[in-house]
């Protein structure tokens, strides 16, 4: 289970999150929605311990990770799989080496065990093991995104974090990725946080929805409740998104740009 309790976060003089509270039950998929700059990707960074809240608690399985030091956070991160926007595969590595990368970093498995697990993970996402010898540039966008999911699940995570996973994909590839998210929930029971501005994708995967606006949580409920809302901002967001007026091809996500440094946040 994941819980945010009255979380505040600021960067320099800018308030990024203001009193955000929500609960994600174990095994559920929750979509975090909002326009660019709303604070939704910051939620993922805080969950990963890449940044610390100014105040409030962030609980993962009843453990408050906010005050943890880096060495303790490493163990928490090992329970999480992350799928970045556009996949973020290493262009210079084969598919197999991309998927194996987290396991080799851990240094807890033999090379034979790693190869077996990588093969299993690539099959879990519906790809043939022959792609393991290919380079990311040889695959379609949808296949690259599946490889990114395989890399995220190779370490048997309990929690999956998706940062705009369908951005830049054509409708068919987007549908494949959404189906894969649902299969992982059904097959291995992961708890998932699905950050997106694409409402159609969110409706395909999530049982619960959180809407962010200017660092504040303005909606926390079901799809049915969201469709019936009288909040003018949410109603407009739904009309724009389902009407195809919001471009889904955007730039590289803030989360990707922030790896290894604290970048300008949402």
Q: What is the pLDDT of residues 101-114, one digit of tens each?
A: 999 988 788 999 99
Give yes or no: residues 63 and 191 share one domain. yes
Q: Which residues of the chain fall below pLDDT 70? A: 86-87, 242-266
Q: What is the pLDDT of residue 134?
A: 94
Share of the chain above pLDDT 70, in %: 89
Give yes or no: residues 253 and 144 share one domain. no
In the listed set 156, 182, 204, which residue is the last one of a domain according to the structure?
A: 156
Give yes or no: residues 263 and 152 share one domain. no
Burial zone of 140 (CB within 10 Å; 0-12 exposed, 13-18 middle, 19+ buried): exposed
CA distance 224 to 205: 14
In the listed set 99, 133, 156, which residue is the last one of a domain according to the structure?
A: 156
Give yes or no: residues 18 and 149 share one domain. no
Helix axes 95-106, 111-124, angle to 10 degrees: 130
Report helix, strand and coil shares of the chain as percent, to nearest 5: 40, 25, 35
Domain count, the chain: 2
Give yes or no: residues 130 and 174 share one domain. no
Q: What is the pLDDT of residue 106?
A: 80
Give yes or no: residues 118 and 70 share one domain. no
Domain that holds residue 29: 1-79+164-266
Give yes or no: residues 126 and 224 share one domain. no
Give yes or no: residues 138 and 225 share one domain. no
Tell me if 101 sits within 8 A of 151, measured CB to CB. yes
Give yes or no: residues 116 and 63 share one domain. no
Q: What is the pLDDT of residue 111?
A: 92
In the listed set 156, 184, 210, which residue is the last one of a domain according to the structure?
A: 156
Give yes or no: residues 3 and 105 share one domain. no
Give yes or no: residues 53 and 168 share one domain. yes
Q: What is the pLDDT of residue 86?
A: 65
Q: Which residues contact 79 (CB under 8 A, 6 or more apart)?
A: 60, 157, 158, 159
Give yes or no: residues 235 and 125 share one domain. no
Q: What is the pLDDT of residue 243?
A: 62
């Amino acid at each position: 289970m994941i819980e945010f309790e009255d979380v505040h976060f600021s960067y320099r003089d800018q308030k990024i999150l203001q009193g955000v509270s929500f609960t994600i039950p174990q095994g559920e998929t929750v979509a975090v929605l909002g326009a660019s700059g709303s604070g939704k990707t910051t939620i993922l960074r805080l969950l990963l311990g890449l940044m610390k809240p100014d105040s409030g608690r962030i609980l993962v399985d009843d453990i408050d990770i906010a005050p943890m030091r880096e060495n303790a956070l490493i163990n928490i991160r090992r329970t999480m799989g992350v799928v970045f926007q556009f996949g973020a595969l290493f262009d210079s590595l084969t598919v197999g080496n991309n998927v194996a990368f987290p396991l080799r970093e851990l240094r807890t498995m033999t090379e034979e065990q790693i190869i077996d697990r990588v093969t299993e993970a690539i099959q879990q996402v519906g790809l043939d093991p022959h792609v393991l010898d290919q380079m990311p540039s040889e695959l379609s966008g949808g296949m690259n995104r599946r490889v990114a999911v395989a890399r995220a699940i190779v370490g048997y995570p309990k929690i999956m974090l998706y940062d705009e996973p369908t951005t830049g994909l054509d409708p068919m590839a987007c549908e494949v990725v959404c189906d894969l998210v649902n299969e992982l929930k059904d097959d291995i029971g992961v708890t998932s946080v699905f950050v997106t501005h694409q409402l159609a994708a969110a409706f395909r995967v999530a049982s619960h929805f959180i809407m962010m606006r200017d660092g504040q949580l303005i909606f926390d409920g079901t799809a049915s409740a969201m469709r019936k809302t009288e909040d003018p901002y949410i109603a407009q967001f739904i009309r724009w998104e389902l009407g195809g007026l919001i471009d889904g091809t955007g730039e590289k996500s803030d989360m990707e740009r922030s790896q290894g440094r604290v970048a300008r946040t949402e």
